[in-house]
Amino acid sequence: MLRRQNHLKPLFKQNGSALKTILIILVGIVLLGLVYKYLERKNFYGFSTKTITSPIQKINPFKDDFTGFGVQVVATTSLTEAKKVMNKFALDGYSSFIVQTSQRGSPLYLVRLGPYSRAEAIAVNDKIKRRYKKSPYVRKSFVIFREG
């Protein structure tokens, strides 16, 4: 009876195709990392670290003599989170700002869009709810009125 021979070569006798494949994968991983760092440096994600880490200014979104409507997107105790949300909406073309208040003795930062007329505020709220369906901030957004 003839003996069937195994056609697999030992690793040290292969022609280098496995080594080439491993090197190509490693080079690809390194290139992906470099592209990620480049995009991060060029602010591809839409957040400016300068505006996120800059000191808070107490911003009143409405003029003192203005009676109007706005859309409140988020209320948070984290200034960094509030600035990220504010910057995201500002980069998307909305007039956004932070209002600093206090609740139970600790600071509370309100991110609002506006000022608008009542109809505009309702339209903007509906628009952002359609556009940012997965955002936990937008799902709970609401129209707010401020008396002058």
Listed ranges 18-22, 53-57, 122-126; the one with the highest mean pLDDT: 122-126
| Angle, vertex CA 81, rays to CA 144 and CA 121, nearest 5 | 20
pLDDT 10s digits, 60-117: 554 444 567 989 999 999 888 888 888 888 888 888 888 888 888 888 888 888 888 8
pLDDT 10s digits, 6-26: 666 665 566 667 778 888 999
State residue 148's pLDDT score: 56
State residue 9's pLDDT score: 60
Residue the block writes with tokens 């697999």:
8
State residue 52's pLDDT score: 45
State residue 122's pLDDT score: 93
Task: Give, for 114, the enclosing helix (H) or strand (E).
Answer: strand 106-116
Closest CA to 85 of 137, 31, 13, 120: 137
